[in-house]
Amino acid sequence: MFSLFATAPKGLASLLVDELTQLGAKDAKEKLAGVEFTGDLALAYRACLWSRLANRILLRLGSAAAATADELYAAVKTIPWHLHLDPKKTLSVHLVSSQSAITHTLFGAQKVKDAIVDQMRERFGERPDVSRQQPDVSVYVYLHHDVAHIYLDLSGESLHKRGYRLEAGAAPLKENLAAGILLRATWPAIAKQGGSLLDPMCGSGTLLIEAAMMAADKAPGLLRDYFGFLGWKQHQPSIWQSLLKEASERAQHGMQHLPRMTGYDNDPTAIKIAFDNIERAGFHGHMHVEKRELALFAPHLKDQRGLVVTNPPYGERLGEVNALAPLYTLLGERLKTQFEDWQAAVFTGNPDLGKQMGLRAERYYSLMNGALPCKLLLFSVQAAYYVDRSATAENERRIRAAQKAVAGQDSQHIAMFVNRLRKNLRHRRKAAERQRLTTYRVYDADIPEYAFAIDITPEGAEVREYEAPRFLNPKVALRHQQEVLSVLPDVLNLSPKQISFITQSLQKGK
C-alpha cells in the first residue's frame, strides 16, 4: 500500500474525494491543495488514467525538517533513490514553497537535484541527466512550514493535458476545470437519461469534449502517451496494460450510447480549432459544431431536454464589462424563450454580469480559473426562477434594497426630510389641481443635505439627484440616496414599482 496525494484546482477537492473513492480509495481526505489517500499500485495507475479532476498523482516518499538549504539537501538524501531511478535515466525536479524559510523555488529545486544526483554518483559512479521534457522520473517537493514533503510524481505532467488539445483559442478552460463544471452541473446523470448538451459559446470545444468523455465512459488519460511512472524502477507494465485494455473496452462500448452534443460560436477560427480538437479526441461524427450567432441559439428538433453549459467572456476592465452586459441579457432571453425546463450552467469571472440574465441561480460554486476567482452559476430554466427585468421591477428592487440598507439607522436627519416633503406635497398638490397639471415638482433640494429633485407624474414619481459636491464623502451621498428611496413609498403613498430613480445627475441651476 502506498501513501498518495492528488493535487487539484481550488474548489474541486471535495469532488475529487468522491472521484477517488469511486476509483477504489478507501480513506480519501480533503487537504490543503488536494486529496490525501492510500492504495495499491493498481489504484495509483487507475487515478492517473481515470481522474478527470486531479492535476497530479503523487507517491509519498518521505518528510523531514528543511528550514535551511542544508537541511533540505539532507532530507532528500535520506530517500533511497536507487529504488526509484536508474542512473542512466533522466530526472526532473519541481518544488513548491509555502510559509517556509526557503522561498526561492528554483534554488530549492537545485538543492533537491544536487542531493539526488550526488547520492546516485556515490553509489553507481554516474548520475542521471536532468530533462525538462518528459523525464523518466519526476520528483515533486512541497515545502510547508519548513517541512519538506518529498514525492514521486506518477503523472509526470499535469493530468489536465489529455492529449487532444494542441490549440486552445482565446481564454481557454483547463480540461480538469471543465470536467469539474460538468460534474457540478450533474451532466453524467443527465447524459445517462439521454439528455442533450449544448454550448452556445464553445470556443475550442473543451466543455463539449469533456462532456463526451464522461458520457462515453472514456478515460481522460487514454490518449496520453506519457506518464511519470513509465520510467520508474518499480513500474509494473502488466498492471498498466491491463488497465489500458479495460479502459479501451469501456470506451468502445460507451461510444455507442452518446447523447446529442452541439457547440456554436460566432468566431470561425474558434470553430475550426474546436473541430480539430474533437477529431483528435476521437469524437469526429459524434457531435456537431458550427458558426452561429447567440441570437439564433435554440435546440434542434432532435434534442432532448438536457444541459446548456457555457463559459462566456467576462472582461477584465470596466469598459469591457459594461460592453458585455447585453451578451448576458441575450443569453438569458434565449434560455427563457427556447430552453424552458432545461438545466443551465454558466461559468463566469464576473457574477454581476450573470445578474443580467434575468434568471435566479438555483446554486452557485466558487472556483478558480488560473489565478482568477470565478463563479459557476447553475440554473433550472423554469418560470419560478425568472427575474423581471422591466423598469418597474428594477424600481421595486432598488427601493427594497435601500430600505434594507438603512434599517436600524438613526432616523433624525431623514425625519426632517420627510416632514418637509409632506408639507410640500400638501400645498403643491392643491396648486397643481387648480392649474390642472399632471406633472409637478414637490421637492427641489429644499434641505441641502438631501440634494434631490422629486417630480410627481401620471405614472407615479421620478427622483433625480443633484451632482454631489466634490468634498462630499461618496459613502454619505449613497446613504442619503438610500434614505430618500426608503421613505418615499410611504410619504407619497405609492408602490415601490411606481417610483423611479433617474441615475443621471442634475447640475445646480438646471
Q: What is the CATH number of the domain that holds 475?
A: 3.30.750.80
Asked whether residue 481 is assigned to any structural domain, the reply reads yes
**Can you name the residues that pair with 375 across neighbouring β-strands?**
348, 366
Residues 370 and 404 in one domain: no
Q: Are 399 and 501 in a shared domain?
A: yes
Q: 359 near 387, Cβ under 8 Å?
A: yes
Q: Domain tally for the chain?
A: 3
Q: Which domain holds residue 209?
A: 175-220+258-385
244 within domain boundaries: no
Q: Do 208 and 356 lie in a common domain?
A: yes
Predicted pLDDT of residue 14: 96
CA 151 – CA 127 distance, rounded (Å): 20
Task: Provide the CATH number for the domain around residue 69.
Answer: 3.30.2130.30
Are residues 335 and 205 located together in one domain of the fold?
yes
Q: Would you say 492 and 459 are in contact if contact means Cβ atoms under 8 Å apart? A: no
Helix H, strand E, coil C: the string for 111-163 is: HHHHHHHHHHHHHHCCCCEECCCCCCEEEEEEEECCEEEEEEECCCCCCCCCC
For 59, the grid coordinates are 507517491
**Edge-to-edge, what's the strand order for the sheet holding 2-7?**
29-31, 34-39, 2-7, 56-65, 147-153, 137-144, 90-98, 129-130
Lookup result for grid cell 451532466:
187
| CA gap 122, 145 in Å, rounded | 31
For residues 375 and 410, state if they share a domain: no
Q: Which helix (H) or strand (E) holds 492?
A: helix 474-492
Picking from 451, 376, 344, 465, the residue whose alpha carbon sits closest to that of residue 12 is 376
Cell readout for 279 is: 477529431
DSSP collapsed to 3 states, 378-397: EEECCHHHECCCCHHHHHHH
Distance (Å, whole) CA 281 – CA 212: 9
Query: For residue 202, what are the CA distances in angstroms to 185, 261, 298, 419?
Result: 16, 11, 14, 58
Q: For residue 327, tell me if it sits in a domain.
A: yes
Question: 399 in a domain, yes or no?
Answer: yes
What is the separation of C-alpha 158 from the centre of its chain, rounded to a whole number of angstroms?
A: 19
DSSP-assigned states of every residue in 257-317: G---EEEEES-HHHHHHHHHHHHHTT-TTTSEEEE--GGG----TTPPS-EEEE-----SS
Residue 119 lies in a domain: yes
Is the same domain home to 355 and 419? no
Residue that is written with C-alpha cell 533540505 in the block: 72
Asked if 194 and 342 sit in the same domain, the reply is yes
Query: Which of 332, 354, 385 represents a domain boundary (last residue)?
Result: 385
Inside any domain, residue 164: no
Whether residue 488 is found in the same domain as residue 339: no
451 and 486 share one domain: yes
**Which among 351, 385, 419 is the end of a domain?**
385
Boundary of a domain, candidates 385, 403, 432: 385
Would you say the pTM of this structure is higher than 0.75?
A: yes
Given a contact cutoff of 8 angstroms between Cβ atoms, the answer to whether 55 and 370 are in contact is no
- Indicate if 212 and 324 belong to the same structural domain: yes
Task: Supply the pLDDT for residue 510.
Answer: 46
**What pLDDT is recorded for position 368?**
92
The answer to whether 171 and 270 are in contact (CB under 8 A) is no
Q: pLDDT value at position 413?
A: 72
Claim to verify: residue 376 and residue 406 sit in the same structural domain: no
- Give the chain's residues under pLDDT 50: 510
Asked, for residue 491, whether it belongs to a domain, the answer is yes
Q: Are residues 381 and 401 in the same domain?
A: no
Residue 225 lies in a domain: no
Q: Label the pairing between strands 363-369 and 288-291.
A: unpaired
**466 and 508 Cβ atoms separated by less than 8 Å:** yes
